[in-house]
């Protein structure tokens, strides 16, 4: 039976695969039949993820994505080992909770370099004619509900995520003739290393308030990885340029 949701015979690159959501995206993609390329800085945690993957033929690469200058070689190396790329999930990201008065230029630069510049450069390299599957491909940017709504001291993080949401639409238009779809996934709160020590999860009272903001409760990494599997699969072949909000109802009130 033809299953449009399968990722069989697809090579999917997942950044941020050493932790949290990216780790689960890699696992779910492998369970759906993909060969997965795992990218993050921490080698040991990448290997931990790799051990949890289904199937064979996966590749893990320790790389700091803020090194924009060598991403070309990074992608050439992936293609030489794995063949053309069918999907890219730009999950690597960092956060900040800062009032404006503490938002120094170097912090702004660090957030934008990791969340935006590294994502755009990796996407640019992967979408090079020699690197992408000519039959079509799917790219996912990772934003957040903070790219659509506000929260105290989240402005810098929101600025980076909003940039990805806006840029995605024009990029999707630019690449539609090449059968490349580009979408954004915007999660609500999922407990992972990025936020587990933040007061809104670590403090029991504040955690209750955070849960109450999500009508369906806090999310799990699988809620996000299942969305990514759909966007990477042929089942979503008519969806591009969209910001898919996966937030248990956080933004509908």
**Binding site residues, ligand NAP, CB under 6 A:** 15-16, 18-22, 40-42, 45, 64-66, 91-95, 114, 142, 144, 187, 189-190, 192-195
> Whole-number minimum distance, CB 8 to ligand NAP, in Å?
25
> Whole-number minimum distance, CB 16 to ligand NAP, in Å?
3
Of residues 180 and 219, the one with the C-beta less far from ligand NAP: 219
Of residues 137 and 190, the one with the C-beta less far from ligand NAP: 190
Of residues 6 and 31, the one with the C-beta less far from ligand NAP: 31
C-alpha distance from residue 128 to each of 46, 71, 75, 107, 132 (Å): 26, 12, 9, 31, 6
Q: Beta 59-62 vs 87-90: how paired, if at all?
A: unpaired
> Whole-number minimum distance, CB 102 to ligand NAP, in Å?
19
∠ CA 192-196-201, rounded to 5°: 120
Which among 44, 15, 21 has a CA at the least distance from the CA of 195? 21
> Whole-number minimum distance, CB 67 to ligand NAP, in Å?
8
Which among 141, 150, 244, 245 has a CA at the least distance from the CA of 188? 245
Of residues 85 and 164, the one with the C-beta less far from ligand NAP: 164
Of residues 92 and 182, the one with the C-beta less far from ligand NAP: 92
Sequence-separated (6 or more) residues with CB below 8 Å from residue 75:
85, 122, 125, 126, 128, 131
Q: In whole angstroms, give the CA distance from residue 68 to residue 62.
A: 14
> Whole-number minimum distance, CB 178 to ligand NAP, in Å?
25
């Amino acid at each position: 039976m033809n299953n449009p949701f399968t990722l069989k015979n697809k090579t999917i690159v997942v950044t941020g695969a050493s932790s949290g959501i990216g780790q689960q995206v890699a696992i779910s993609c492998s369970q759906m039949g993909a060969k997965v390329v795992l990218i993050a800085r921490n080698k040991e945690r990448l290997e931990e993820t790799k051990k949890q993957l289904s199937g064979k033929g996966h590749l893990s690469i320790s790389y700091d994505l803020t090194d924009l200058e060598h991403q070309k070689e990074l992608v050439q190396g992936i293609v030489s080992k794995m063949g053309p790329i069918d999907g890219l999930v730009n999950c690597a990201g960092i956060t900040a909770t800062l009032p404006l008065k503490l938002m120094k230029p170097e912090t702004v630069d660090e957030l934008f370099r990791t969340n935006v510049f590294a994502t755009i450069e990796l996407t640019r390299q992967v979408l090079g004619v020699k690197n992408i599957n000519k039959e079509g491909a799917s790219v996912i940017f990772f934003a957040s509900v903070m790219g659509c709504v506000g929260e105290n001291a989240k402005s810098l993080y929101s600025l980076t995520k909003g940039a990805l949401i806006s840029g995605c639409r024009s990029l999707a238009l630019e690449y539609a003739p090449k059968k490349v779809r580009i979408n954004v996934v915007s999660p609500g709160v999922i407990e992972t290393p990025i936020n587990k020590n933040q007061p809104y999860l670590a403090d029991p009272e504040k955690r209750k308030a955070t849960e109450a903001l999500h009508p369906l409760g806090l999310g799990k990494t699988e809620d996000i990885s299942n969305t990514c599997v759909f966007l990477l699969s042929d089942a979503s072949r008519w969806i591009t340029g969209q910001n898919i909000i996966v937030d248990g109802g956080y933004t509908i009130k």
